[in-house]
Amino acid sequence: MKNQTLEDAFGQLEAVIGRLESEEIPLEEAFRVYSEGMELLQFCNASIDAVEKKVLKINEDGGLDEF
């Protein structure tokens, strides 16, 4: 997942959700898919946190400060 983009991870999360919503998924596979989804969610959260820390804001003097 290290070279994965946030957009790719969101796409995979959508696929995981679709798979979990399927009525035909065996219980053991549901647990495996759920675990995969949780890992993707953690990756997304970490990626979003990293981006938020890099966001810049304009200070009173017109300069930029990291958010």
Quote the pLDDT of residue 51. Answer: 81
- pLDDT tens for residues 10-57? 999 999 999 999 889 999 999 999 999 999 999 999 999 888 777 766
Place of tokens 């017109």: 62
Q: How far is Cα of residue 5 from the mean position of the Cα atoms in its chain?
A: 9
- pTM for this one? 0.73
> Which of the pair, 60 or 49, is modelled with greater confidence?
49
CA pair distance 46, 29, nearest whole angstrom: 26
Task: Tell whether the model's pLDDT for residue 8 goes beyond 90.
Answer: yes
Q: Which residue has the higher pLDDT, 59 or 41?
A: 41
What SS3 class is residue 58? strand
